[in-house]
Amino acid sequence: MAAPPRPLREPCSAVAAVTRAAIAFREGLPVVIRDPEGTSVAFALETVAPTSLADVKEGVLLLSHARARTLKIRLYTPEVVALPLTVGPSLPQLLAIADPTLDLAEPLKGPFAPLRRALPPGSAAAVRLAKLSGLLPAALVKALDHKPCPEILEVSADDIRAYEEESVETLTLVTRAHVPLEGAERAELVAFRARDGGPEHYAILLNAPSPNRPVLTRLHSECFTGDLLGSLRCDCGPQLRGAIEAMGNAAGGIVLYLAQEGRGIGLINKLRAYRLQDQGFDTLEANERLGFEPDERLYRVAAKMLSLLGYSSVRLLTNNPDKVKALQEAGIQVVERVPQRFAATPHNRNYLEAKLRAGHLP
């Protein structure tokens, strides 16, 4: 008996489906987003080719609420606003609406008339996919009234919404190795990754800390500019090196090195935020002008890493109360918050003051 024909697309997890869709977005390709209310075709605004604008004619430009507030656009619809593409604006005009680094060169925008209801299916998911792709949170979307082309990648809005939770739930310890560090020779590097892809996170175990007592722990979001280049705009490098030194000289500890560059917006968007900071906005305001939340990070992944390593109780090296709360809500006992203090410099004073305004502890 002949085997049944294989489907054109094998079923896959939310992590795998969204990872593939994010690659398509970054390449400027269309993605079909399926939603219980219908189906839409979407492009990431940042990477769409001018020749593809015809594919979303009579569609909408979607912006996050954060970017809409910057542009004084009324928030009639949940999560995102939709600006109709009825006039046929050029791609540079659309980019000027979404990218705040162009505000000085293109200061005149609007008036805007956002849709008040009936957004294309999967609109909020399209903007979320742009964020997960490391792009500006803006998308061009058009509802489809016909069956989509089978050659276009499809993803469900439910998978986009479930991506981060599934990437935590399926996180796996991949490998580990001893890596002697300067000032902490008894160091072990442990790598984690979700079962079907997604970002890679790392744990640095120093002096083989015992799981039988609260372990000194730091949640450290990766910072290419601060950790590697020694940027003076932030205190990330001193915090990382200070944590490793403190743990290397004590009874051990764990640094969880999380793939959350730029408070979760990615390196390229962080550099955009730096340009806005040079115009006088603080780090939180810059993120919001770009269309992001002031802090896009989620810390459940850190709790999962600790659990996989066999630790359930920590002394948390942090000035950020959100990290304490997130670990506790995820089932990790935080028996003590251990502050980290470093002298401000002329280059990072505004950054540190912004963190205090955001609720960080001195």
Residue 318 · residue 324 · CB < 8 Å:
yes
Which residues, 6 or more positions from 182, have their beta carbon under 8 angstroms from its beta carbon?
none
Residues in the chain, total:
362
Nearest of 352, 318, 331 to residue 218 by alpha carbon:
318
Give the full edge-to-edge strand order of the sheet including 171-178: 171-178, 187-194, 197-206, 253-258, 215-221, 313-317, 333-338
Q: Which of 295, 315, 322, 349 is catalytic?
A: 295
DSSP string, 101-144: GGTTTS----------S-PPTTHHHHHHHHHHTTS-SEEEEEE-
| Strand order from edge to edge, sheet including 138-143 | 80-84, 60-64, 138-143, 38-44, 31-35, 153-156
Return the structure tokens found at 306.
């600790």
CA distances (Å), origin 164, targets 93, 132, 167, 174, 322: 32, 9, 5, 19, 18
* Of 48, 42, 83, the residue nearest 62 (C-alpha): 83
Annotated catalytic residue within 117, 297, 337, 341: 297
Establish whether 295 is a catalytic residue.
Answer: yes
Question: Annotated active-site positions, please?
Answer: 295, 297
